Every structure is written in C-alpha cells, then in structure tokens.
Structure 1
Amino acid sequence: MSELQQVFIRHCKYMLYFLAIYVLGWGFTEYKTIFMGLILGTSVSLYNHWNLYRKTKRLGLAVTEGKKVYGMGMLIRMAAVILAVYVAMKFPDVFHLISVIIGIVTAYAVIMIDFIVQQIFKSRK
C-alpha cells in the first residue's frame, strides 16, 4: 500500500468519526439543524477529499507513463461546495448555513492536524 493511500485511509477514518459524532449529536440533542449542516458539509468535504485523492493518483500514474493530465478537478469540487451551500440556503429549517461551511473545511482541518501529529511522531523516532 502506498503512503498516499495510507494517508488517505487515515483521513477518511477521522472524517467518518466526525460524521458519527455529528449523527449522534443530531439524534440526541436539540440542535438538529446545526448537526445536519455539519453532516452535509463534512460529507461534501469527504467527497472532495476522495476526488482529490483519485485525481492525484491518476496524475502520478500519468507522470510515470509520460502522459498528459489535464486537471485536478477543481471545478467539480467547487460545484459540490456550491451545491451544498445552495441546499443549505434553500432549506434553512433543515440545514444551518454556517455549520455547512464549517463542515466543508473539515477535511482541511483533518489534513493539517494529521500532518502535525505525524511530524511529532517522526521527530521522536
């Protein structure tokens, strides 16, 4: 298993833990709209992270084979974010807009925290 795949799987685990906590929060608290917004945003964030992983893997294969790659799929990732924000704005009684935006940046927070933790572990060895 490549290092990129290991890192991606680790990030997915963390994000799925967040989603599980959000589902529990939705089920057991009175803040339904906030947790639904977090669930929607984090789901989009997980999709975008998976899409970026897939495109990065494809880029690596193309470089080793000497082929051209046309893009990393930024338009698709932005469209997913715009769709999530649109849904949150269309149904404000179901999704809290600020929570959707916080959920969207969850993948980036997970990546940064994981990087810091991995650097600390590497420096101790």
Structure 2
Amino acid sequence: MSDLKTMYVRQRKYIFLLLSFYVLGWGFTSYQSIFLGLILGTVMSLYNLWLMTRKTEQFGAAVEKGEKVRSLGTASRMATAVLAVMIAMKFPEHFHLISVVFGLMTSYIVIMIDFFLQTFLRK
C-alpha cells in the first residue's frame, strides 16, 4: 500500500472515531443541533479528504507517465463546502452553522495532527 493510501486509511479512522463521539453527543446531550452540524461538516470533510487523496494519486500517476497534469479538484471540494453550508442555512433548526464550518475543517486538522504524531513518534 502506498504511503498516501496508508495515511488516508489512518486519517479516516481518526475521523470515524470523531464521528462516533459526535453521534454520541447528538444522542445523549441537549446540544443536538451543534452535534448534527459537526456530523454534517465532518462527513463532508471526509468526502473532501477522499477526493483529495484520489486526485493526488491521479496527479502522481500523470506525472510518472509524463502526461499533462490536471487540477487537484479544488473547485469540487469548495462546492462540497458550499453544499454543506447551504444545507445548514436551509435547515437552521437542525444544523448549527458554525458547527458545520468547524466540521468542514476537521480533515485538515486531522491531517496536521497525524503529521505531527507520525513525525515525533518515529524518532
């Protein structure tokens, strides 16, 4: 398995762990809209992480073959974020908007934490 795929699998596990805590928070606390917003944003963030991993693999394969390199899918990741915010704005009684935004940042925070853990734990 490539290093990129290994990182993706590890980061996906971390995100699923966070999602399980969010689901427990949604089910057992009175802050349901906040946790539902975190769930929506984190699910979209996980989708963006998968998209970024897939596009990066395609980018690497194109470079190895000497082909023309296409975009890394920034527009599609932004469209996913806009969709999540639109859902939160359409149903404000169910989703807390700020929580959705924090959820959208989850994969990037997980990537940074995973990088630091892997860097300092390998020494």
- SS for the counterpart of 2:11 is helix
How much has 1:68 moved relative to structure 2?
A: 1.1
2:66 equivalent in structure 1: 66
After the TM superposition, list the runs of 4 or more consecutive aligned residues in structure 1 that deviate by more than 2 angstroms.
none
* TM-score, scaled to structure 1: 0.96
Unmatched 5+ residue regions in structure 1?
Answer: none
| Partner deviation per Cα, 1:66-97 (whole Å, 9 max, x = no partner) | 11122111111000000101111111100000
- For the aligned residues, what is the CA RMSD? 0.7
- SS for the counterpart of 1:30 is coil
Contact 2:59 2:70 in 1 (8 A): no
2:91 equivalent in structure 1: 91
CA distance in 2, matches of 1:26, 1:65: 47
How much has 1:119 moved relative to structure 2?
A: 0.9
- SS for the counterpart of 2:122 is helix
* TM-score, scaled to structure 2: 0.97
1:102 equivalent in structure 2: 102
AA at the equivalent of 1:55: K
AA at the equivalent of 2:37: G
Q: Between the two proteins, what is the percent identity of the paired residues?
A: 54
Matched residue count: 123
How much has 1:122 moved relative to structure 2?
A: 1.8
AA at the equivalent of 1:18: L
1:21 equivalent in structure 2: 21
CA distance in 1, matches of 2:71, 2:120: 33
1:55 equivalent in structure 2: 55
1:75 equivalent in structure 2: 75
| Partner deviation per Cα, 1:32-62 (whole Å, 9 max, x = no partner) | 1000000000001000010000000001111
- SS for the counterpart of 2:88 is helix
2:2 equivalent in structure 1: 2
